[in-house]
């Protein structure tokens, strides 16, 4: 029996829309209930709605598809079409990726947004050169320091095993006489529980995700910087989409950036309250600690400017001019 296309669809032999729908994988490094991941899921839903279901993006949380440190490469090679990554963790490729982790340069949500805007042209161009299209980025709350004892100065940190997530966090550790180890968030709880690391710099958000109070006792709200998670697509995959679908991705990305940034700011105070409610000592750094860290910050700012030259200076100048 000969059947036409409509008859095949009606008979369930061919699925008319499913056959046309494009499926993208979106690996992310952070847990499903973290606001970055929830924001990415909403982004994917908006893209699905806008494209009438023709572009389906599946978010894979907690480094389950690709580990945090593999995500950028996976998107570059096309093994994933889109992904979210802490770009500052790639500052070893190019120090400009670390623009958001220069100590005390931008330590409020407002300043973080200005710095993002100032860095956007340089960042987009660098990523384009790697076959990636920058879509949106969302800040983490300001970074504080977690320890399992009271710390009043950098001298008190000597020899502590410190979890790093990028080269800035490793450099803070080195300059403070600590011993840095790079650990992805997905492995952080185990590293803390087994004593591989005993301290870290991160936000209240990650502290709550990891139940930091089970492993550490003190949080110092030093507000070192607000690193960002950045979402980018494989440029070839993006360009292979029909123009209307590409527009859907761009529009949803813009909305995700605004929504995610607002959510981060709304939640940040509550994270610190949760740390305190669970018994952590949450405090401002004392005078000596703040002064010591300011000194480390100055040194690291000079190092970053030295490493990035005119481009780094242009970002800081544009940030200050905003
Ligand atoms: N959480 C992420 C990066 C910065 C933050 O606040 C982490 O610790 O991996």
Over residues 61-87, the pLDDT tens digits come to 999 999 999 999 999 999 999 999 999
What is the helix (H) or strand (E) element at residue 247, kind and residue range?
helix 243-277
Looking from the CA of residue 229, the nearest atom of ligand 1 is 3
Q: Name the phi and psi angles at 126, rounded to 5.
A: -60, -45
Residue of 294, 245, 198 lying closest to 57 (CA atoms) = 245
pLDDT at 322: 75
Residue boundaries of the structural domains of the chain:
5-140+227-267, 144-225+272-320
> What percent of the chain lies above the pLDDT cut of 90?
93
CATH topology of domain 144-225+272-320: D-Maltodextrin-Binding Protein; domain 2 (3.40.190)
**CATH class of residue range 5-140+227-267:** alpha beta
Q: Residue 8 Cα, ligand 1 centroid: separation in angstroms?
A: 51
pLDDT at 151: 98
Per-residue confidence band for 4, with pLDDT thresholds at 50, 70 and 90: low
- pLDDT tens readout for residues 219-276: 999 999 999 999 999 999 999 999 999 999 999 999 999 999 999 999 999 999 999 9
Q: Residue 30 Cα, ligand 1 centroid: separation in angstroms?
A: 9
Per-residue confidence band for 20, with pLDDT thresholds at 50, 70 and 90: confident
Looking from the CA of residue 204, the nearest atom of ligand 1 is 6
- pLDDT tens readout for residues 183-192: 999 999 999 9
The pLDDT of residue 19 is above 60: no
Q: Under 8 Å CB-to-CB from 215, ≥6 apart: which residues?
A: 148, 192, 193, 198
Q: Residue 187 Cα, ligand 1 centroid: separation in angstroms?
A: 12
CA gap 273, 291 in Å, rounded:
25
Ligand 1 pocket test: pick from 37, 101, 185, 230 the residue with the most ligand atoms within 8 Å of its Cβ: 185
- pLDDT tens readout for residues 110-146: 999 999 999 999 999 999 999 999 999 999 999 999 9
């Amino acid at each position: 029996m000969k059947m036409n296309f409509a008859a095949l669809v009606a008979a369930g032999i061919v699925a008319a829309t499913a056959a046309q729908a494009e499926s993208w994988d979106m690996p992310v490094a952070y847990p499903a209930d973290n606001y970055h991941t929830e924001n990415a899921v909403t982004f994917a839903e908006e893209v699905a709605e806008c494209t009438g279901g023709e572009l389906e993006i599946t978010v894979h949380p907690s480094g389950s598809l690709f580990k945090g440190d593999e995500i950028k490469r996976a998107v570059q090679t096309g093994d994933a079409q889109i992904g979210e990554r802490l770009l500052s963790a790639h500052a070893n490729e190019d120090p400009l990726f670390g623009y958001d982790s220069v100590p005390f340069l931008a330590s409020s949500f407002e300043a973080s947004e200005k710095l993002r805007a100032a860095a956007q042209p340089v960042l987009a161009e660098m990523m384009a050169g790697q076959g990636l299209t920058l879509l949106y980025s969302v800040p983490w709350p300001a970074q504080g320091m977690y320890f399992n004892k009271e710390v009043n100065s950098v001298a008190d940190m000597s020899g502590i095993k410190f979890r790093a997530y990028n080269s800035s966090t490793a450099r803070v550790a080195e300059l403070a006489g600590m011993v840095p180890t790079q650990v992805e968030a997905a492995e952080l709880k185990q590293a803390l529980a087994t004593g591989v690391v005993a301290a870290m710099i991160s936000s209240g958000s990650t502290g709550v995700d990891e139940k930091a109070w089970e492993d550490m006792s003190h949080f110092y709200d030093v507000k070192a910087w607000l690193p960002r998670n950045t979402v980018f697509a494989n440029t070839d995959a993006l360009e292979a989409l029909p123009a209307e679908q590409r527009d859907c991705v761009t529009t949803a990305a813009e909305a995700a950036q605004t929504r995610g940034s607002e959510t981060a700011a709304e939640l940040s105070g509550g994270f610190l309250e949760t740390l305190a409610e669970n018994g952590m000592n949450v405090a401002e750094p004392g005078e000596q600690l703040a002064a010591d860290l300011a000194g480390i910050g100055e040194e690291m700012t000079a190092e970053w400017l030295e490493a990035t030259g005119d481009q780094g200076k242009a970002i800081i100048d544009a940030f200050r001019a905003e």
